[in-house]
Structure 1
């Protein structure tokens, strides 16, 4: 059943893009695709997966969309014409066009992000809520309103969005959910990371001069290059400092370094470029003790000035601790106590635990490792944090 679920998740955005391109009306087409997915989940376990599952979903969804048109008197002639035509065939750029449609200027940036995660990323409402730190009910309402807004605006499938900020942010969130799943037994969801990288490659090919698209692609490649060594044979999380760097994907690192080097030389600097530069410094260190933490601290300082947010603040504190010592890091962490996002985030407790362990305060470190474990929904992270606490008896 797991393989079938993965297959349906992979095919769903492709099917939706093809059906929207042919029929328009995003909301109705998504309903039709959802019904096709339900039919597949019910039929395929007994009849077998068809030779071309994506085309099967497109055909069934298209027929369902036509059936809905039968009840619309004003569109009866169109319905009869479409019924005689073959089902739309997927095109290589369909998903990117769908991504741009979901980021239509008529939508607010939060609505663009939420709808794209749902339609293109294939994330569930619960997964989106965790990625965006929002209540699940809020996300559900946002998706519904966004689809209605697209319909009211008369948005067209072939009309690109004018602002790529939300597009880049969406791809980044999809990648992050895949690289460190917010819940469940698995640390990685490779289908999401691959999809995010694939779509970002398409965007980079279309907009080679956009420095932030280049930075985003480089960041994904440089981060995903470490994936082979992030977990042990039993699926347990292995932190960056303990990873076997010989298992890192050197070709991905080389590609990412080349992309970010070119972008920094020719494009205005942006947050994704700075994050990619930080990832490159980590990846180019063949041993953990060779990491240039002073350069990383400098880059985080630039990133904080350009694009401040709680997670950047936390990462900068880690870099500060590696340069000036754990007590300096703890003092900086104390100054973030009023930030409500950091106060509830499991990484804040995990960082405090690590810094306390470095000072020799094992009791305090143990308590904060356990607090961090309680705050995360990722089972591999929970196990890792509990194991760190257990070592400090």
Structure 2
């Protein structure tokens, strides 16, 4: 059996590349730090293209076992609940295709279950990578508290604040949006089931997504500098209903919530001899549209698809360089588009918000353009090819 690929990071990105490698018969060792499963609690949306990949990797059944929710509609509405734009997901991709919602920790656990079942992934829980081993300018493996491990390729999937990235891959571009996000879970509200909502109003931005177990995700974007007014358990209901007024008619039963700062990060390089970056370690974009995790799934497939051309060092380096060129160019485009979306969503001046409303409504009426934009947004296969091709 060929030498295993080393993967630093046991989150969604790390497990995705392990599963994609396993599909192609290549073993891997995944190193994760303690407690990483529960670090992120977001209502992540699995896009259509990602669901095809997860099926191809043999992971979908493990996610379905965790009772995800599905929705076929997406709407942008204003603070009074009036529709500005609507998208019917099956019309984008044909058949009965829907988007899938599942809390991020549950997605990671499902991927780990699939990885352990495949027999080609050695998951080292509680054994984080401390540093990269190098020789002659090449990354030759990793060092953990338990020793050194060598490999022809090391994949770094350790998240947006990756110390391993900063040590070897140049200075990353970091864009602080000056905003933060408060992610809350509340008991489900019947009026908002079966559809994902993006609320844009002069008073703020709010996201609603149905979650499993009769729960609803409500995310509120706020200015980071407004420390005294930031959403918290005590003022959550008031902040949410200020943005989306119809919520005032409902009882918001808060389960939990946490805030995180919004930053965009784009690594200077995605590959060096012997190692590559993947997922948030390579790129972190504004959460408009829920691109982050889905970009990581695309990264994983793009990398492993190239590696199968040859497993010797020369072929591995060539595959890593090709992966880096393609994925950095793609991530840079998404980075710009997500940033523009985040800026537009955060507008508060009456003239600017009026223009935003008019622009969104114009896009809604231009159906072919709207479908093209959102098909790319969620990586949807063409309706003419309902089966898609995840490879």
Q: TM-score range by the shorter chain?
A: under 0.3
TM-score (norm 2): 0.26
Higher relative contact order (CA 8 A, sep 6+): 2
Bigger fraction of residues in helix: 1
TM-score (norm 1): 0.26
Look at both structures and tell me which one has the larger radius of gyration over its CA atoms: 1
